[in-house]
Structure 1
Amino acid sequence: MSQAARILAALAIGLLLGIVTAHAAWSNQAADLAEPVGHLWLSGLQMTIVPLVVALLVTSIAEGAEAARGSRVAGRSFGWMVAILWLSAILGALMVPLLLGVFPMPAHAADALRTALTGVKPVQSVPGFGDFLRSIVPSNALAAAASDQILPLVVFTTIFAFALTRIPAEHRALIVSFFRAIAEAMIVVVNWLLWLGPIGVFALAYVVGVGAGGGAFAALLHYIAIVSSVGIVVWALAYLLAVVGARLPLGRFAREVAPAQAVAFSTQSSLATLPAMLRSSEKLGVPVASSGVTLPLAVALFRATGPGMNMAVVLYIAHWYGMALHPAQIAVGVVVAAITTFSAISLPGQVSFVTNTAPIALAMGVPLEPLALLIAVETIPDLFRTVGNVTMDVAVAATVGRRGGLSADDSNTDQDRLLQQET
């Protein structure tokens, strides 16, 4: 059984056992014993967030920016990717409150879930706009890391990563290698914790099942629908970009990208879908100068649905707890969501779910505890994440090729530049 299946099974068993035994005389005592186990597992995941996000941001941004400097195609692609990531984050911030206003969580489910995790309390202080501006740049980066001040830490790390591209190559390689080693070690720790995930998820699910009853299933289904809808909209925007940006007929783009989407749906991996994306781009007439550079760069750095869907997760949790978020808090979330998406490079879906949603929740003052339950059902929204990402990758490659006026003759030039840069 796969890791995702084991965690999902633990969630279902924990919820069902909690619902069935909710009226037993010993259920509350059992829940009191299970809750610390679940929170201990969640704390283990939380301890990896800061070092993992910092290390991944440094390596991905430094290497991506350096590649963009070495190739005009990569530079254009990187610019499109950054713009789409910010658009995705803003879309999630605007779309989810509207959806929850029209289709709110079932009242009985929301009340039951709020009482199920009684020990979880969201941050009560609401920062003003002035506080938001003052918090952007940290006066002490180490203090920001120690106190989980995610926004200033992300800003500092981003500036530091871009600064690395301006120092001699041998010095940059040493620093990037150091942070890559930290990231790899943290990923090992996260994988250990995810191997223990069924225990932690079962414990938290049992507590929720005892306190929330059958309303927990209704809430999870509602959550899947809301978060997946954001991914579907970003997926649809890829078709718009192909039509407007690459000037491709809608029917032709849809027909040629469908095989890559099928691979993405079956594998849930953008990396595994790269050969299919290259074939789809070739059939669409995208120059190799564009697809051969843009698509590998996109697989490494670009997750178009990530910021929007990650914002949706955090905003849903805030809705779960009845939090009235200030615009400054949402703005902080948008910034963190757009930037930390780069830390999702080549990570399994459950690992990137933790590394990309937890920083947003910390920055916005939203509780982390529900993430331990939501990670168990991430498999379904991840289908829309992957298919949407793959579709947008092909659309960006086609747009870069069209807008850059590239032809097949340009491919060798840009590939030679990349090889020289790597050398």
Structure 2
Amino acid sequence: MIRKIKKYATTNTLVVFGIILGLVFGILFPELALKQKMIGTAFVYFLKMLVVPLVFASIFVAILGLGSIEHLKRMGLKTIGLYILTTALAVVTAIIAMNIFHIGEHVSNVGLEYTKAATLAPFSFESMLLSFIPTNIFNALSEGKMMQIIVFAILFGVASLYLIPKQKEVLGSFFTAVSEAMLKMAEWVILLTPIGVFSLISYVIAEQGIDVVFGLYKYVLLVVGVILFHALITLPGVLRFFTKVNPYSYLSDVREAPIMAFSTASSAATLPVSMRVVEEIGEVDKKTASFVLPLGATVSMDGTAAYLSIAVLYIANLAGVALSLGDQLLLGITVVALSVGVAALPSASLVMMVIILNQLGLPIEYMALIVAVDRILDMCRTSLNVTSDLIVTKIVDEFEKRR
């Protein structure tokens, strides 16, 4: 254990250096930073390569290990309930912060246009629910449709519980081996993290430019402030409330996952790292991590929910529209409700923002004013999404150990 902690501590130190050097390199040598994008992209591709087989095998093995549908139901309800709770707390924090600081002055939307919103297919709850069901599991696997993969893996795992012991043993051994092989490959990819992080950060800084951030500094600072508050105050408080675990010691141990999420801006790409660190360093049982983390990578959206709440209220201020307490309550309920389901759709955060703006009667054109810093804030909110996954996984694991 001590050797593993030292190994991850060394990697984390190198990753921090990679972030700092990436920032400096992106500012001083933007042209070179733009040209070396392929290095960071290859790093993310290697991580994403592992996700589909890892998610499918991990969920199947976890369900088979639980042994009964009753146990699966208990763990599933706890997991979904905790994810909804943390998302709701993130939304409440964001709305309170916007009411305290009230940033955003009224500007005209004449000449503003956000054409990307027009490319979205019309949204309906019927289409959202149907999108959970894989009509062709091989197509879902090849295209990485995570919600469909999770649904099929759960059904496949439940069906396997009814097989004779010999058949269950064969399937369990096979998918356990697949999961272990994917995690071994993840170990190799993790060694490339400092280089990948350097490449990704320097490219983003060179592409976005520091001037863009300064132009919207109040908006950026508020989003980042809420994300940090939720990550360092709210989530540790939730972990402490439900368990006796020292939240800051735990978060320090598994910090590589949020750092990776910040660099890649992808919960899915971070999943192999999250599973490795919570099991090896966070002392979470493999069955719990294998079920809770893949689900969280798809439906847990604390960072996205907080960001959307601030963005919508900011757009309301830009449009000169005063939202009542009832409107803000409706905003919060909508964000929490959509955060679980819309994750299965392409461009999830964009879909959610368009739905909410239409529901509140706010002009979509104002999205053009904030999209310039979306890539940088996406890194921050993804890091919070993963932090929430780590917290919920630890809570569920502690519940399971008590039982």
Q: TM-score, normalised by structure 1?
A: 0.57
Structure 1 residues 143-186: Cα deviation after superposition (integer angstroms, max 9, x where no partner): 12222222222111100011111001111111122112221222
Q: Distance in 1 between matches of 2:228 and 2:309?
A: 14
User: How far does residue 9 in structure 1 lie from its aligned partner after superposition?
Assistant: 2.1
Letter of the 1:334 counterpart: V
User: CA 1:186/1:314 → structure 2, altered by over 3 Å: closer, same or farther?
Assistant: farther
Match of 1:94? 88
User: CA 1:376/1:89 → structure 2, altered by over 3 Å: closer, same or farther?
Assistant: closer
Q: Distance in 2 between matches of 1:130 and 1:38?
A: 38
Residue 229 (structure 2) pairs with residue 225 (structure 1): yes
Among 6, 12, 20, the residue aligned to 2:20: 12
Letter of the 2:50 counterpart: T
Among 170, 195, 200, the residue aligned to 2:191: 195
Match of 1:133? 129
Q: Partner of 1:127: helix, strand, or coil?
A: coil
In the comparison of the two structures, how many residue pairs are matched?
311
Q: Distance in 2 between matches of 1:221 and 1:128?
A: 33
User: CA 1:92/1:29 → structure 2, altered by over 3 Å: closer, same or farther?
Assistant: same
Q: Partner of 2:123: helix, strand, or coil?
A: coil
Letter of the 2:78 counterpart: I
Q: Is the 8 A contact 1:7 1:376 kept in 2?
A: no
User: CA 1:322/1:130 → structure 2, altered by over 3 Å: closer, same or farther?
Assistant: same
User: How far does residue 263 in structure 1 lie from its aligned partner after superposition?
Assistant: 7.0
Structure 1 residues 316-366: Cα deviation after superposition (integer angstroms, max 9, x where no partner): 676799899999996575269xxxxxxxxxxxxxxxxxxxxxxx5876635
Letter of the 1:94 counterpart: A
Among 281, 285, 301, the residue aligned to 1:311: 301
User: How far does residue 202 in structure 1 lie from its aligned partner after superposition?
Assistant: 0.6
Once superposed, what is the RMSD of the aligned Cα atoms? 4.8
Q: Partner of 2:163: helix, strand, or coil?
A: coil
Match of 1:365? 348
Among 20, 34, 37, the residue aligned to 1:35: 37
Q: Partner of 1:175: helix, strand, or coil?
A: helix
User: How far does residue 189 in structure 1 lie from its aligned partner after superposition?
Assistant: 2.3
Q: Is the 8 A contact 2:37 2:200 kept in 1?
A: yes
Match of 1:50? 52
Q: Is the 8 A contact 2:132 2:148 kept in 1?
A: yes
Q: Is the 8 A contact 1:62 1:162 kept in 2?
A: yes
Q: 1:230-269, aligned counterparts within 5 Å?
A: 230-238=234-242, 257=244, 264=250, 267-268=253-254
Structure 1 residues 265-300: Cα deviation after superposition (integer angstroms, max 9, x where no partner): 6755577777xx9xxxxxxxxxxxxxxxxx997688
Q: Is the 8 A contact 2:299 2:340 kept in 1?
A: no
Q: Distance in 2 between matches of 1:266 and 1:154?
A: 29
Q: Is the 8 A contact 2:39 2:199 kept in 1?
A: yes
Runs (5+) with no aligned partner, structure 1: 22-26, 70-74, 109-119, 240-256, 278-294, 337-359, 401-423
Residue 66 (structure 2) pairs with residue 60 (structure 1): no
Residue 146 (structure 2) pairs with residue 150 (structure 1): yes
Letter of the 1:235 counterpart: L
- Which deviates more from structure 2 when the two are superposed, residues 47-56 or residues 388-397? 388-397
Q: Distance in 2 between matches of 1:42 and 1:371?
A: 18
Runs (5+) with no aligned partner, structure 2: 1-8, 105-115, 215-219, 255-277, 316-330, 351-373
User: CA 1:328/1:131 → structure 2, altered by over 3 Å: closer, same or farther?
Assistant: farther
User: CA 1:326/1:106 → structure 2, altered by over 3 Å: closer, same or farther?
Assistant: closer
User: CA 1:99/1:265 → structure 2, altered by over 3 Å: closer, same or farther?
Assistant: closer
- Which deviates more from structure 2 when the two are superposed, residues 218-227 or residues 158-167? 218-227
Q: Distance in 1 between matches of 2:138 and 2:117?
A: 26
User: CA 1:97/1:220 → structure 2, altered by over 3 Å: closer, same or farther?
Assistant: closer
Q: TM-score, normalised by structure 2?
A: 0.59
User: How far does residue 28 in structure 1 lie from its aligned partner after superposition?
Assistant: 3.4
Q: 1:325-404, aligned counterparts within 5 Å?
A: 333-334=339-340, 365-366=348-349, 394=398
Structure 1 residues 12-39: Cα deviation after superposition (integer angstroms, max 9, x where no partner): 22123334x2xxxxx3322321323222
